Amino acid sequence: MHSAASAIESLTQLSKSPSVSRLAAAFADAGYELALVGGPVRDAFLGHEVHDLDFTTNALPDDIIRVVEPIAEAHWDIGRDFGTIGAQIAGEKVEITTYRADQYDGKTRKPVVAFGDSLEEDLTRRDFRVNAMAVRLPELVLVDPSGGVEDLMAGILRAPKSAEVSFTEDPLRMMRAARFSSQLGFQLDEETEWAMTEFASSIENISAERVNEELCKLLLTDKPRAGIELLVRTGIASYVLPEIPALRLEVDEHHHHKDVYEHSLTVLEQAIDLEKERHPGEPADLTLRLAALLHDIGKPATRQLESGGAVSFHHHDLVGAKLSVKRMKALRFDKETTQNVARLIELHLRFFGYSDAAWSDSAVRRYARDAGDLLERLHILTRADVTTRNKRKADRLSFAYDDLENRIKELSEAEEMAAVRPDLNGEEIMAILGIPAGREVGEAYNYLLNVRLDEGPIGADLARERLLAWWANR
């Protein structure tokens, strides 16, 4: 955490930025209060770069629009009924929300919206003390009614009110607790974690879309493991993502296998490290992280205890792919992400065995072709899936995958494998065979595509001969 002096300096510089200074002056001139609130204030104290400027005011939504209209390039309703107006000022997007004094019915997340007239009251209804701080503008006066600065210094997450009241009002805050534990590296106090455990089932009152949003934010943090472990430990994961706690398989005294739950979290961590190493500065890859976390969820359903103490998980890749589709549909993930995660899970075992027997060029081509646009993600997932403590085995697998990547690259450069096509197209096949468009053309095309994958380019003349021979022997 930065010193208070450093935080004040950061907030002072922020208040002088064109967007903040114009906004503060406009509200002051109109006779309204304005404060920078929540995340930006927290991040200034933590020494983090400040993003997503959120403001709160005693002005009502129509009044907010009236104040920002003369100074904004654009403004829009984010949720007028909930008091939030968005605007772009000096090229920066901001959100301004009327003080809230909501009441909850205890059954749904939807509050009975009530606008308040006090900044302190607004802050005490927020999720955690570290997010319940504000800086009045333009005076630059810190308002911290619940002790958020002290919690920042201690690295603790707890609610401004009691955790029981907070989570009963809005169960989604339990998911936010998991996200912030990872994002900030903070621990929950005892009461807060108890309340998460006690009220875990109330997360079912929250829409799948909102749960999805918080789960994705958690997975996109630099270190999501702590948040996932918290969700599992408190029982919330049993409602949100039950396949993860199910990975904690019992191990009897005669059959031994690695802890699949711990292995999956390690694979996630290693995938993130590789993602950053191979693609520095690029946005976090949600698809890769979901695939890493879920890649072994087929194991509980496929576990077989073999004679001699061995444990097998035959076809857990295929079973896991199907389970991932079911879960991601329930969580309202989009179709493309769902399909890509399932495909990565389905393919994640293909590589193993490469180090024992060299693949033919045909097998290498098929590996790359089957992965398609997911090839780089598959490279990372497969490498991350090696969690053995046996250094000799880990090195052997790493060297083998280095070799496979090099062979894919060489074949791709030599044959432009990314755009592999048969040596004859569909129209040429129809002309040579004298057949109309239909199923048989597709079969012929696939035959020539397999020839191409097995043998590389053979040229149009030889492809014509092979096509006619195949057609005659069908």
pLDDT value of residue 6: 82
For tokens 């029982």, name the residue. 235
Q: Which long-range contacts (CB under 8 A, 24 or more apart) does 24-31 make?
A: 24/137, 24/138, 25/138, 26/67, 26/68, 26/70, 26/71, 27/57, 27/59, 27/67, 27/137, 28/137, 28/138, 30/59, 30/63, 30/66, 30/67
Are residues 67 and 32 in contact, defined by beta-carbon separation less than 8 angstroms?
yes
Distance from first CA to last CA of the chain, Å, rounded?
73
Query: Which tokens hold the place of 232?
Result: 């599992």
% of the chain beyond a pLDDT of 70: 92
Answer yes or no: is pLDDT of 361 > 90: no
pLDDT value of residue 103: 63
CATH T-level assignment (fold) for domain 1-148: Beta Polymerase; domain 2 (3.30.460)
pLDDT value of residue 253: 45
Query: Which tokens hold the place of 414?
Result: 């030599």
The arithmetic mean of pLDDT across residues 411-436, rounded, is 82
Q: How far is CA 203 from CA 200, 212, 334, 396, in A?
A: 6, 12, 21, 45
The CATH class of 155-240 is mainly alpha
CA dist 211 and 232 (Å) reads: 15
Answer yes or no: is pLDDT of 308 > 80: no
Alpha helix ranges (H) inside 241-305 = 260-278, 286-294, 299-302
Query: Which tokens hold the place of 142?
Result: 């810190």
- Cα 208 vs. chain centroid, distance in angstroms? 15
- More confident: 415 or 196: 196
Alpha helix ranges (H) inside 141-207 = 148-154, 163-169, 172-184, 190-198
> Burial level of 28, CB count in 10 A (0-12/13-18/19+)?
middle
CA dist 311 and 236 (Å) reads: 29
The arithmetic mean of pLDDT across residues 318-322, rounded, is 95
Q: Do you know the residue count of the chain?
A: 474
116-125: pLDDT as tens digits:
889 999 999 8
456-466: pLDDT as tens digits:
888 999 999 99
Query: Which tokens hold the place of 130?
Result: 């570290």
% of the chain beyond a pLDDT of 90: 68
**Residue 54: phi, psi to the nearest 5?**
-115, 135
Answer yes or no: is pLDDT of 255 > 80: no
> Burial level of 90, CB count in 10 A (0-12/13-18/19+)?
middle
CB neighbour list of residue 462: distance below 8 Å, 6 or more residues apart: 423
Query: Which tokens hold the place of 361?
Result: 């060029």
CA dist 129 and 141 (Å) reads: 17
Q: Which residues of 363-374 are buried (b: 16+ CB within 10 A; e: fewer)?
A: bbbbbbeebeeb
Answer yes or no: is pLDDT of 254 > 50: no
Answer yes or no: is pLDDT of 412 > 50: yes
81-134: pLDDT as tens digits:
788 999 999 999 999 999 987 666 555 555 666 788 899 999 998 999 999 999
Query: Which tokens hold the place of 333?
Result: 């993930």
In a 3-state reduction of DSSP, which class is residue 332?
coil
Q: Which candidate, 329, 299, 298, places its Cα nearest to that of 311? A: 299
437-448: pLDDT as tens digits:
988 999 999 999
CATH T-level assignment (fold) for domain 265-419: Hypothetical protein af1432 (1.10.3210)
The arithmetic mean of pLDDT across residues 282-289, rounded, is 97
- More confident: 13 or 339: 339
The arithmetic mean of pLDDT across residues 18-27, rounded, is 95
Please give the mean pLDDT across all residues of the chain: 90
DSSP letter string over 339-406? HHHHHHHHHTTTTTTTTTSPPPHHHHHHHHHHHGGGHHHHHHHHHHT---S-HHHHHHHHHHHHHHHH
Q: How far is CA 6 from CA 44, 54, 149, 230, in A?
A: 8, 21, 13, 32
CA dist 121 and 132 (Å) reads: 10
As a dihedral over the C-alpha atoms of residue 436, residue 437, residue 438, residue 440, rounded to 10 degrees, the angle is 70
CB neighbour list of residue 396: distance below 8 Å, 6 or more residues apart: 355
Q: What is the pTM of this model?
A: 0.82
Domain-wise residue ranges, the chain: 1-148, 155-240, 265-419, 426-472
Are residues 211 and 331 in contact, defined by beta-carbon separation less than 8 angstroms?
yes
Are residues 36 and 20 in contact, defined by beta-carbon separation less than 8 angstroms?
yes
pLDDT value of residue 78: 86
